[in-house]
Structure 1
Amino acid sequence: MVRSLGHLRWPLLGATLGLAGLAGLAAPAPAQTIAQSPPAPATPAPAPARPDDTVLRVCAAASQPPLSLKDGTGLENRIAGAVAEAMGRKVQFVWSDKPAIYLVRDFLDRRLCDVVAGLDTGDPRVLTTKPYYRSGYVFVTRVQDGLDLASWSDPRLRHVNHVAVPFGSPSEAMLKTIGRYEEDMAYLYSLVNFRSPRNQYTQIDPARLVGEVASGKADVAAPFAPDVARFVKASSVPLRMTLVADDAARGDGQKVAMRFDQSMGVRRGDEALISALDRALVKARPAIEAILEDEGVPTVPTGS
């Protein structure tokens, strides 16, 4: 649920810690001249409450379809539920009204919950589990158009009508590489009512990306597959969704990754929970694969 980052350019969300001012050194206190009773023994601090090992507290966005929805029907909600069941726990979602990119900073780091689903494997802000699936960016086109695109190197991409891409994504980088960005920039901003994505989180609704293709306003959309698979599947206009070949490169030859392993994340140092989640992910694999198939998410072997 979190584009986690990796395949999206995450904003710098960490808060800056201020340093307390130094008021100067106080003069030493005068020596005591009267006898005092010995201090009472210190009362030991109460032991921290033991975590409830019957519950899996999952940080989740309340309204980020199709990945996370407050009724629990989002893709990552369903996967988290399957993993909790494999652990013998009850899933408990801790809902945020903010986009999922803020879950680590505002919820996980503040210990309001313990797990974030749908992060890129190796996300540096957290400890991540072993990947539970791998997917990638896709080209979404209308079946009737016969555009069987599979790579950013396809010369037809330079000549089609609008190409709709998420802001800050590898697809946006490739739109610039093939010389289409300036041509499509005003169109892309129109999809967010010309709200600038600079210095604020602004993203095109994944359902809108799919709808632009279905309506013919764009010939191609190039989003992350889990973000749109449900909408592609539900479209009344037949659509083709093809995983983009992982061969994209910028003009200077630097690779632009198109496929990403997905993991769950926990706070750094919570090795016990990571181990428990990894064991549960193995047990829950058939259920996770069934969920991905039901959602229509195309996958490839992890690590490939």
Structure 2
Amino acid sequence: MVGIILRLFSRGVRDMAAHPLAQLFTLLAVTLAVFLAGLFLMAFVNLDQALGTARGKAVYQVYWHKDADMKIVRSQWQGFSHMPWLVDVRTYTPDEALKTLTGNLASVGGVDTSWIGESPLPATAVLTFEPRPKDMDTWHEETMAYLSGLPGVQRIGASPVRDDLARAWNVFSRNVMWPVIGFLGLVLSLVVGNTIKLSLVSRETEIEILHLVGARNWYIRLPLLITGGLQGLVGGLLATALLWITWAQIKNVFMFPPVSMQLSFLPVEQVAMLVAVPVVMGVVSSWIAVKR
């Protein structure tokens, strides 16, 4: 019995090469559907990390005048460490800011930045606080007054209400985005399932002949189930590989001040889901198609 099952499994693998054109189009359709779903999921994951995990934080972007003395600016940067509730400081000289920006532009689109001479960007500092004062408004006013009073500072961009933004995003993601992702998973399942079912149309004659010669149902179905599962598996793996290549190309696109955020790849459990869903739907769709 085990030998028969192994032979049927081997036949299911060989059957993929017996109908190359139908299998190729099926594989491309599955790969595209999984890739688009993964791309949307990756965008949501990064947006959720950027907004949903920022609760209780206040971010200040400090910009100095272009002609500010860098010795004085660096001494001011060192003094930031004494500010209360400060959890992170990122500083950029004009040359560092330009290097980061041009590097990102070159990596994502091959933009020629060789014509840029001296950096037109100002010295920049991004300060992240986790304040816990009783009076947030007073603390914010004092922080703005201190930073504005530093010699050479031109302007300050402040985001002191990140906690409200995070709460709003968490409500939105819980009530809107996650149901949308669930619907997307359902659409992905239907697309993969219908695609694989259509690919079995080319094998109707073969199935009818096997029925006529008295082959049992499990003998007919097992190779087809294996073929459907393999199509889903290969399509899911190819889509995941394409998604990883895409992420590797764009992960540093926002790595410039004051954003300075590196995109994250999907968590392991979500990658596993992108591979498992096409496999399960491939098997289920093949079963439904053959059963009919």
Q: TM-score range by the shorter chain?
A: under 0.3
After TM superposition, the score normalised by the length of structure 1 is 0.18
Q: Give the greater-gyration-radius structure (CA).
A: 2
After TM superposition, the score normalised by the length of structure 2 is 0.19
The structure with higher relative contact order (CA 8 Å, sep 6+) is 2
Q: Which has the higher helix share?
A: 2
